[in-house]
């Protein structure tokens, strides 16, 4: 299909790990991104991964890339209430950034 796909909602308890999944469209996409949007704000770039990598870790964030299945995931360790936000997956190819519909993460105390 033509869409970058994400599940719309995820709810976790504070302290647990969160895993947000994404399926992208183009196997030739060079970069894949995760953006975070807090209420009333624009999107903030969280992290990105180059297509020749399988994994990237940055403090509490781990990005896994499965090129064969065109599957990207974002794991947030020790999820905090401040992590509650909408998370967008995006792919970049040929000067074009294509976004998923966003996953709303709710963290319960």
The stretch among 15-23, 33-41, 60-68, 72-80 that binds another protein (CB under 8 A) is: 33-41
Run of H or E residues at 80: none
Longest dimension (CA), the chain: 42
**Token code pair at residue 82:** 């401040």
| CA 93/CA 32 separation, integer angstroms | 9
Out of 78, 97, 106, 108, name the contact with another protein by CB under 8 A: 97
Residue 88 as a binder of another protein (CB under 8 A): the answer is: yes
Q: Which residue shows structure tokens 């770039």?
A: 45
The stretch among 12-20, 45-53, 57-65, 71-79 that binds another protein (CB under 8 A) is: 45-53
Report the residue number, 96 or 109, with the smaller CB distance to another protein.
96
Q: Which residue shows structure tokens 């936000």?
A: 85
Whether residue 79 contacts residue 14, with contact meaning beta carbons closer than 8 Å, is answered with: yes
At 26 the three-state DSSP class reads coil
Residue 25 as a binder of another protein (CB under 8 A): the answer is: no
The stretch among 14-22, 42-50, 58-66, 68-76 that binds another protein (CB under 8 A) is: 42-50
Interacting residue ranges for another protein, rule: CB under 8 A: 8, 30-31, 33, 35, 40-45, 48, 50, 86, 88, 90, 92, 97, 99, 101-102, 104
């Amino acid at each position: 299909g033509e869409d970058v796909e994400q599940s719309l909602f995820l709810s976790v308890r504070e302290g647990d790990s969160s895993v947000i999944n994404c399926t992208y469209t183009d196997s030739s996409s060079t970069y894949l991104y995760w953006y975070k949007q807090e209420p009333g704000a624009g999107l903030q770039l969280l992290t990105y991964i180059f297509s020749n990598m399988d994994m990237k870790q940055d403090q509490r964030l781990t990005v896994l890339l499965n090129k064969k299945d065109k599957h990207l995931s974002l794991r947030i360790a020790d999820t905090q209430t401040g992590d509650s936000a909408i998370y967008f997956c995006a792919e970049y190819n040929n000067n074009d950034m294509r976004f998923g519909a966003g996953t709303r993460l709710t963290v319960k105390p």
